[in-house]
Amino acid sequence: MADVRPIGLIGRPTSRPSVGYLWFRWLFVVVGRLLFHIEVSGLENLPRRPDGRPAGGWICAGLPHRTWVEPFVLMFVLPARPRIVMLADGPTALGVPWRALLVRWVGGVIPLWPGSGRRGVETVMAAASAAVDAGAVVAIFPEVGPPSRPPALRRVSRGVVRLAQQAGAPVVPVVFGGTHDIYLRRRIVVRILPPTAAPSTDADRRATSADLGRLVAATQAAADEAHRAAERCVPRRRSWRWLQGPFRRME
Quick check: 4 pLDDT over 90?
no
The verdict on residue 102 lying in a domain is yes
Domain that holds residue 117: 19-244
The verdict on residue 251 lying in a domain is no
The verdict on residue 199 lying in a domain is yes
The verdict on residue 84 lying in a domain is yes
The verdict on residue 12 lying in a domain is no
The answer to whether 67 and 242 have CB atoms below 8 angstroms apart is: no
The answer to whether 61 and 171 have CB atoms below 8 angstroms apart is: yes
Quick check: 3 pLDDT over 60?
no
Strand, helix or coil for residue 239 = coil
How far apart are the C-alpha atoms of 48 and 50, rounded to whole Å? 7
How far apart are the C-alpha atoms of 91 and 151, rounded to whole Å? 27
Backbone phi, then psi, for 133, in 5-degree steps?
A: -60, -30
pLDDT tens profile 41-90:
999 999 999 999 999 999 999 999 999 999 999 999 999 999 999 999 99
- pTM of the predicted protein model: 0.93
End-to-end CA distance of the chain: 43
Question: Hey, CA dihedral for 221, 140, 168, 82, is it positive or negative?
Answer: negative
The answer to whether 173 and 193 have CB atoms below 8 angstroms apart is: yes
Q: What CATH number is given to the structural domain containing 102? A: 3.40.1130.10
Count of domains forming the chain: 1
1 pLDDT tier (thresholds 50, 70, 90): very low
Residue 182's nearest CA partner among 80, 108, 250, 114 is 250
The answer to whether 162 and 148 have CB atoms below 8 angstroms apart is: no
Instruction: Note the residue count of the chain.
Output: 251
Q: In the beta sheet, which residues pair with residue 37?
A: 187
The verdict on residue 249 lying in a domain is no
Quick check: 22 pLDDT over 90?
yes
The answer to whether 95 and 208 have CB atoms below 8 angstroms apart is: no
* Residue burial 168-190, b: 16+ Cβ < 10 Å; e: rest: ebbbbbbbbbbbbbbbeebbbbb
The verdict on residue 94 lying in a domain is yes
Residue 96: count other Cβ atoms within 10 Å of its Cβ. 11
